[in-house]
């Protein structure tokens, strides 16, 4: 069963090597490896479902000497979301990158990106995470620049440099941890910190945590460190934008969550969590406001990513205040659900936006009326994804926001509810601003246009976010070992 | 209603960054000294040394890189591959420099074989003394850089298809060894002790070739020119006018 942990890394990596060596067959081998990866992740999720947690010491060297892999409910949920989203993106990309010259650049980098994402969700070792972060940042920036225009190159060069700065800051924290605790393994580190041997090591750990969270917040585009995100995500090719917004920033957030709530939990304070929540609140308000003002559809989607990441950070101060127990584990499940729902919704939105851009030749929202009216399936996708971004029932984000609301009230931190309400209203405004284009006064088109391979994946992703995640939450609750939120 | 995507950096912002950086540096210094004075960590040196007999090599650094934390190294090689693929995706390489004069060509004829020889030595000695695939690969890549400076547009690398195979060889062999141990019922990259030394040498040999190829290709700086680019006259006008004799 633990073989699937290693295969999660080896399958996409082997695919990347093969498409590098055999560029003529890139699309076929690439899609095949992504399918194989999805199958393997399904097995892994099944394993976590049955055993609650899968562990592995690579090369049979027990930590601290070797590297440990751990898959728990949170890892499995993120891995499953990544596998499904990447499968949909791969199907779409086969259609999008028809030009073989671009396809042979896309596939190896894309599979390396997938390798690093899987590695990030599995590794329980601070330094192995750094290597995965490097792989992630490098492949993401290279993919983002595939569009080839000057703006894309500029934006992604900045993305690369910002990512490097983030990795270096993270690495500084890792070095401090190693010098102080002589281990990089999550479980051993958590045990040492829980014992709280000396005040000095607590200070050292807190500084290291601060550095690591700072570096990761830069990569997760937490307000006000989000400045690089809109140009980079707005100028990348559509399948890449979808992956960047849905998966790559989410991986950095996942690491912050893991470090903050599990490994370094004894060192975190309410004040620090409040700061994260405050930055999240800033992201919600500023990102939503900018999304409302955006002239281009892809920029709207990119700013909406900034806002949605903000919601995820709102959970920190509320989780911090709660004692271990059912309310807390429900809230933890809610933040996971929020991340998953946004992953599905945003990738669907970006894929649909890419198709609209291809059909219309531009993505200026004010002039999209005719195109949207000709594309019923894509318009439905935009509406479903928008539903999840707003957080209307029956979307997964509705359930998550509801639980957040309950948690904030139970905790007496009612001020976060105001942010939630304001952000939701702004989201209504920016989604409806887009949707009204589909109901303008343009003459009714003579015939509609649908194209299964390009529109199907996006529609399925958006339906997953809005239909499946909101209604069928029980499997996720089971995976995360909680009773269920809405009881 | 325009989105200002490119805000002009302001002087006050630059000043703020400097102040924040100084504060951060101060904090780090303070933490380091208060900590280093009170409780320096023991590190893992002793443990790594103690497990050496089970690693198949006698150089602790090689044991860490190729055995204890082999996965890190596998991924580091993938990072290099990603860098090269990213560079290739940005377009073709510039044609390169003009053919070297007699002095440089003579120097290259001396230095390149020496570099190759030292690379091979470093690869072999890595098992018991400082050395190994990264150092050997870097030396071979230096030979490639000299060839490129001397006017070879492809820096002595073979054609694109062969370059692609060379670029993945080290990573592929690494992963295949891991899969072989997995299929044999041990864990991924869990070498049997009797074979560990030889498996590490096998991985390191191919890793050397891959590292050399990737670094040289990164220096060339773009997708390789199609084959049959034997120094056409037009190429000499393109680059490095200052080096004209």
Q: Do the Cβ atoms of A128 and B81 come within 8 Å?
A: no
> What domain range includes position A199?
125-268
Which carries the bigger pLDDT value, residue A195 or residue A344? A344
pLDDT category at B234 given cuts 50, 70, 90 is: very low
∠ Cα A317 A318 A323 (to 5°): 110
Neighbours of B129 (CB within 10 A): 13
The pLDDT value given to residue A196: 72
Angle between helices A326-360 and A376-390 (to 10 degrees): 150
Q: State mean pLDDT over A352-362.
A: 91
pTM: 0.92
Contacts of B71 in chain A (CB under 8 A): 9, 58-59, 67, 128
Q: Do the Cβ atoms of A109 and B89 come within 8 Å?
A: yes
DSSP-derived secondary structure for B46-61: HHHHHTGGGTS-S-HH
Would you state the structure tokens that stand for residue B30, as one six-digit string?
Answer: 């303070």
The pLDDT value given to residue B151: 84
Q: State mean pLDDT over A26-37.
A: 94
The pLDDT value given to residue B28: 85
How many angstroms separate the CA atoms of A377 and A355, rounded?
A: 11
Given its phi and psi angles, is residue B155 left (phi above 0), alpha (psi -120 to 50 degrees) or beta?
left
Do A234 and A283 share a domain, yes or no? no
The pLDDT value given to residue B238: 40
Closest residue of chain A to B163, computed from CA coordinates: A21
Virtual torsion, Cα A99, A103, A105, A106, nearest 10 deg? 130
Nearest chain B CA: its distance from A333 CA (Å): 31
How many angstroms separate the CA atoms of A279 and A313, rounded?
A: 8
pLDDT category at B145 given cuts 50, 70, 90 is: very high
How many angstroms separate the CA atoms of B88 and A139, rounded?
A: 12
Give the 3-state secondary structure of residue A71: strand
How many angstroms separate the CA atoms of A459 and A260, rounded?
A: 35
Q: Is A350 in contact with A298 (CB distance < 8 Å)? A: yes
The pLDDT value given to residue A151: 87
- pLDDT at residue B240 is higher than 60: no
- pLDDT at residue A369 is higher than 90: no
Domain count, chain A: 3
The pLDDT value given to residue B55: 87
* pLDDT tens profile B98-143: 888 888 889 999 999 999 999 999 999 988 888 889 999 999 999 9
- pLDDT at residue A265 is higher than 90: no
* pLDDT tens profile A377-426: 999 999 999 999 999 888 989 999 999 998 888 888 889 999 999 999 99
Q: Is B90 in contact with A145 (CB distance < 8 Å)? A: yes
DSSP A364: B
Do A177 and A302 share a domain, yes or no? no
Do A237 and A257 share a domain, yes or no? yes
| Per-residue CA distances from A296 to A292, A366, A430 (Å) | 10, 8, 12
* Closest by CA position to A230, among listed A271, A280, A313, A289: A289
How many angstroms separate the CA atoms of A129 and A216, rounded?
A: 11
The H-or-E segment that residue A157 falls in is helix A150-181
Q: State mean pLDDT over B164-186.
A: 94
* pLDDT tens profile A73-126: 999 999 999 999 999 999 999 889 888 888 899 999 999 999 999 999 999 999
Contacts of B180 in chain A (CB under 8 A): none
| Per-residue CA distances from A440 to A139, A427, A428, A433, B1 (Å) | 41, 20, 18, 11, 21
Neighbours of B212 (CB within 10 A): 25
- pLDDT at residue B7 is higher than 70: no
The H-or-E segment that residue A70 falls in is strand A68-71
Neighbours of A52 (CB within 10 A): 13
Closest residue of chain A to B179, computed from CA coordinates: A10
Contacts of A14 in chain B (CB under 8 A): 172, 175
The pLDDT value given to residue A199: 59
Boundary residue ending a domain (A268, A299, A330) = A268
Residue owning tokens 């590490």: B200
Which carries the bigger pLDDT value, residue A433 or residue B2? A433
Do A211 and A184 share a domain, yes or no? yes
The pLDDT value given to residue B231: 44
Angle between helices A3-21 and B160-183 (to 10 degrees): 160
Q: State mean pLDDT over B61-87.
A: 93
Number of H helices, E strands in chain A: 21, 2
Q: Do the Cβ atoms of A145 and B86 come within 8 Å?
A: yes
Alpha helices in B99-132 (DSSP H): 102-125
Picking from B3, B44, B76, the nearest residue to A294 by CB comes out as B3
∠ Cα A98 A24 B92 (to 5°): 80
Contacts of A197 in chain B (CB under 8 A): 39
Boundary residue ending a domain (A217, A242, A268) = A268
Residues 6 or more apart in contact with residue A213 via CB below 8 angstroms: A256, A259, A260, A276
Contacts of A20 in chain B (CB under 8 A): 81, 85, 164, 167-168
Do A301 and A442 share a domain, yes or no? yes
Do A330 and A436 share a domain, yes or no? yes
Burial of A134 (0-12, 13-18, 19+ CB in 10 A): buried
The pLDDT value given to residue A306: 94
Closest residue of chain B to A111, computed from CA coordinates: B82
Q: Which of these ranges, A27-31, B94-98, B99-103, has the smallest mean pLDDT?
A: B94-98
Do A260 and A199 share a domain, yes or no? yes
Contacts of B164 in chain A (CB under 8 A): 20-21, 23
- Choose the most confident range, by mean pLDDT, from A65-69, A82-86, B155-159: A82-86
* Closest by CA position to B4, among listed A392, A162, A435, A299: A299
Q: Hey, CA dihedral for A377, A284, A164, A332, is it positive or negative? A: negative
- pLDDT at residue B237 is higher than 80: no
User: What average pLDDT does chain A have?
Assistant: 90
Looking at chain A, how many residues does it have?
A: 487
How many angstroms separate the CA atoms of B178 and B188, rounded?
A: 5
Q: State mean pLDDT over A436-457.
A: 83
Do A79 and A202 share a domain, yes or no? no
How many angstroms separate the CA atoms of A52 and A395, rounded?
A: 26
Q: Is A246 in contact with A85 (CB distance < 8 Å)? A: yes
Q: Hey, CA dihedral for A9, A10, A16, A19, is it positive or negative? A: negative
Do A384 and A483 share a domain, yes or no? yes
DSSP A59: G
CA atoms within 13 A of residue A104's CA, in its CB half-sphere: 14
pLDDT category at B9 given cuts 50, 70, 90 is: low
Q: State mean pLDDT over B78-89.
A: 94
- pLDDT at residue B154 is higher than 90: no
Burial of A369 (0-12, 13-18, 19+ CB in 10 A): middle
For A171-209, b/e burial (b = at least 16 CB within 10 A) is: bbbbebbbbbbbbbbbebbeebbeeeeeebbebbbbbbb
Q: Is B174 in contact with B77 (CB distance < 8 Å)? A: yes
- What percent of chain A lies above the pLDDT cut of 70? 98
| Per-residue CA distances from A289 to A104, A222, A293, A426, B3 (Å) | 38, 15, 6, 7, 11
Do A360 and A476 share a domain, yes or no? yes
Residues 6 or more apart in contact with residue A485 via CB below 8 angstroms: A330, A333, A334, A399, A402, A403, A473, A477
> Bridge partners of A364?
A296
The pLDDT value given to residue B40: 60
Boundary residue ending a domain (A67, A99, A123) = A123
- What percent of chain B lies above the pLDDT cut of 70? 84
The H-or-E segment that residue A247 falls in is none
The pLDDT value given to residue A292: 93
The pLDDT value given to residue B152: 83
How many angstroms separate the first and last alpha carbons of chain B?
A: 58
Would you state the structure tokens that stand for residue A380, as one six-digit string?
Answer: 């439905």
The pLDDT value given to residue A125: 94
- pLDDT at residue B239 is higher than 50: no
Do A117 and A101 share a domain, yes or no? yes
Nearest chain B CA: its distance from A400 CA (Å): 31
Nearest chain A CA: its distance from B107 CA (Å): 35
* Closest by CA position to B70, among listed A451, A457, A462, A65: A65
- pLDDT at residue A484 is higher than 80: no
> Bridge partners of A68?
A57
- What percent of chain A lies above the pLDDT cut of 90? 59
Nearest chain B CA: its distance from A128 CA (Å): 6
pLDDT category at B209 given cuts 50, 70, 90 is: very high
Contacts of A294 in chain B (CB under 8 A): 3
Nearest chain B CA: its distance from A382 CA (Å): 22
Do A320 and A430 share a domain, yes or no? yes
Nearest chain A CA: its distance from B63 CA (Å): 11
Q: Do the Cβ atoms of A16 and B78 come within 8 Å?
A: yes
Would you state the structure tokens that stand for residue A180, as one six-digit string?
Answer: 């102080």
How many angstroms separate the CA atoms of A385 and A246, rounded?
A: 12
């Amino acid at each position: 069963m633990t073989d699937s942990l290693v295969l999660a890394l080896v399958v996409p990596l082997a695919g990347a090597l093969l498409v590098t060596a055999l560029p003529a067959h890139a699309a076929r081998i690439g899609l095949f490896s992504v399918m194989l990866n999805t199958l393997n992740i399904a097995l892994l999720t099944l394993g976590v479902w049955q055993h609650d947690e899968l562990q592995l010491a690579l090369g049979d060297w027990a930590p601290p000497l070797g590297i440990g892999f751990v898959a728990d409910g949170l890892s499995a949920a993120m891995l499953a979301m990544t596998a499904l989203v990447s499968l949909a993106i791969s199907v779409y990309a086969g259609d999008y990158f028809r030009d073989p010259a671009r396809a042979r650049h896309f596939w190896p980098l894309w599979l390396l990106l997938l390798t690093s994402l899987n590695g990030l969700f599995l590794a329980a070792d601070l330094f192995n995470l750094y290597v995965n972060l490097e792989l992630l940042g490098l492949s993401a920036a290279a993919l983002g620049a595939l569009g080839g225009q000057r703006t894309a190159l500029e934006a992604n060069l900045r993305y690369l440099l910002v990512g490097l700065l983030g990795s270096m800051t993270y690495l500084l924290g890792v070095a401090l941890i190693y010098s102080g605790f002589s281990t990089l393994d999550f479980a051993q580190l958590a045990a040492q910190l829980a014992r709280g041997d000396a005040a000095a090591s607590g200070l050292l750990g807190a500084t290291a945590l601060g550095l690591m969270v700072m570096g990761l917040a830069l990569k997760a585009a937490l307000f006000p460190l989000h400045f690089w995100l809109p140009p980079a995500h707005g100028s990348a090719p559509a399948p890449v934008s979808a992956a960047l917004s849905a998966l790559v920033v989410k991986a950095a957030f996942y690491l912050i969550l893991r470090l903050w709530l599990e490994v370094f939990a004894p060192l975190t304070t309410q004040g620090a969590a409040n700061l994260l929540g405050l930055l999240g609140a800033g992201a919600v308000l500023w990102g939503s406001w900018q999304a409302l003002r955006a002239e281009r559809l892809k920029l709207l989607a990119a700013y909406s990513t900034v806002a949605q990441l903000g919601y995820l950070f709102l959970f920190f101060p509320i989780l911090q205040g709660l004692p271990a127990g059912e309310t807390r584990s429900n809230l933890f499940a809610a933040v996971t659900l929020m991340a998953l729902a946004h992953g599905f919704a945003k990738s669907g939105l970006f894929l649909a936006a890419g198709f609209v851009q291809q059909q219309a030749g531009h993505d200026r929202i004010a002039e999209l009326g005719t195109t949207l009216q000709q594309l019923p399936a894509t318009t439905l996708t935009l509406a479903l994804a928008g539903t999840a971004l707003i957080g209307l029932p029956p979307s997964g984000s509705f359930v998550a926001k509801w639980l957040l609301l309950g948690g904030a009230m139970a905790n007496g931190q009612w001020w976060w509810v105001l942010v939630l309400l304001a952000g939701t209203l702004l989201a209504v405004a920016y989604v409806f601003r887009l949707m009204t284009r589909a109901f303008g006064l343009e003459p009714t088109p003579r015939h509609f246009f649908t194209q299964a391979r390009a529109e199907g994946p996006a529609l399925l992703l958006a339906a997953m976010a809005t239909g499946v995640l909101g209604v069928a939450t029980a499997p996720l609750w089971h995976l995360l070992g909680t009773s269920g939120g809405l009881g | 209603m325009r989105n200002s995507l490119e805000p002009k950096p302001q002087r006050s912002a630059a000043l703020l960054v400097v102040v924040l950086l100084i504060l951060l540096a101060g904090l780090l210094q303070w933490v380091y000294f208060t900590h280093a004075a009170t409780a320096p960590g023991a590190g893992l040196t002793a443990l790594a040394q103690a497990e050496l007999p089970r690693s198949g090599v006698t150089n602790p650094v090689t044991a860490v890189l190729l055995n204890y934390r082999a996965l890190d190294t596998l991924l580091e090689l993938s990072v290099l591959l990603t860098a090269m693929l990213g560079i290739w995706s940005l377009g073709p390489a510039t044609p390169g420099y003009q053919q070297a004069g007699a002095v440089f060509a003579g120097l290259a004829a001396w230095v390149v074989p020496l570099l190759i020889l030292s690379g091979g030595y470093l690869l072999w000695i890595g098992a018991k003394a400082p050395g190994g695939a990264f150092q050997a690969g870097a030396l071979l890549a230096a030979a490639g850089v000299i060839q490129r400076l001397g006017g070879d547009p492809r820096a002595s690398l073979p054609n694109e298809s062969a370059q692609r195979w060379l670029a993945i060889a080290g990573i592929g062999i690494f992963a295949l060894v891991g899969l072989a141990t997995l299929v044999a019922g041990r864990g991924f990259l869990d070498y049997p002790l009797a074979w560990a030394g030889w498996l590490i040498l096998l991985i390191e040999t191919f890793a050397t070739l891959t590292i050399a190829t990737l670094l040289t290709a990164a220096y060339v700086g773009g997708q390789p020119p199609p084959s049959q680019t034997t120094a056409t006259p037009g190429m000499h006008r393109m680059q490095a006018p200052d080096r004209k004799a």
